[in-house]
Structure 1
Amino acid sequence: MEPMTIYLFGSAAPPVFEVRTVIRDLQSRGAAVCLGLTPTAADWLRDDLESLEELTGRPVRSRYKRPGEPDVWPKAEAILFAPVTANSLNAWALCLTSSFVVGVVAEGIGKAIPIVAMPCVNAAYASHPQIDRSVETLRAAGVTVLYGKDGGFVPNAPGEKRAYPWQAAVEETLRRTG
């Protein structure tokens, strides 16, 4: 029996540096993981990309494939997009798909792929009204957004360091795969 395939996507926020641990956790629970990153997140992790490809057994993607090129990933049974920055969150809610990972999750809504997202924005960004609008738009589209006091990420003050609740995101993603 083939393992379930989970796409793990990340934006350029500090928790993206913990992605190796998340991949290992998902793999230990029977998932095959394909890692996708925004271009800036891929740049942040550029020294680790080769070892992350070895860990997942798949290319790490941060750009769209060219027309006619084969898809190098199997079909996703679920997508976990964490951390999601304000930029990626708002682009996704507005269907602005210039980024590969945003394009995949935007299309994933229409394909009815279970998607879990956990933003990573500080309280200054969170005070902008577009953040709440984007969260509500995505929730209304069927995305599980782990944000706010009812579970998931709670914004911290700018510069404040607090543990990112990866475990909540992993557990919810696995729950959504059945």
Structure 2
Amino acid sequence: MRIILALFAALPLLACTPAADKADTGETIARGAGVGAGPTGRVGKPVAKGAEKGPIPENIDEGVEPVTNAAAPATVAKPTSIPDQFHGRWALTANDCKPEFASAAKGLMTVNDSRLTFYESRGTLARVDAWTPANRFTANYGFSGEGMTWERVITLERNGSKLRRTEKGGDEGPVDLTYTACPA
């Protein structure tokens, strides 16, 4: 009975033995894979653990094409200002673009390198958060207007002549507006 208990106590230790100790010559791995013609599944001379393998030939990569990932985009530095494709005058209604309605253009947003200008407020770029070169720009802006200051995280997303502005932060809740480019 003591022998059986000793065997059961040793089982966890056997299960924790590293694979390298169990297969010094690769025999166990080869046998499991069905490699070789011999009873052990081994082919060729066994290689002893720690044996000299010799230097790596200089021409080892000769004729081998390097692996490239064509789907990976080129690395582009994050901008430090609002990208050019977002610059200009953007309107919620057609009248917001017309000079004769400029004094009442409450839906006009003007974008330049570092500022978003609205009817009664302006936001100055404080920090760029994320950027997709083709059409998306997210940044933190410090706003001022009507004697108050506040911060907003705004994402500008361009699709042709349309510009979508989404905004987080503030008491008003999220903002999601789509503007149309004013004629130049």
Same fold by TM-score greater than 0.5: no
Q: Which is greater in Rg?
A: 2
* Greater share of strand: 2
Q: Which fold has the larger relative contact order, with Cα–Cα distance below 8 Å and residues 6 or more apart in sequence? A: 1
For Structure 1 versus Structure 2, the TM-score category normalised by the shorter chain is under 0.3
Q: Normalising to structure 2: TM-score of the pair?
A: 0.22
Q: Normalising to structure 1: TM-score of the pair?
A: 0.22
* Greater share of helix: 1
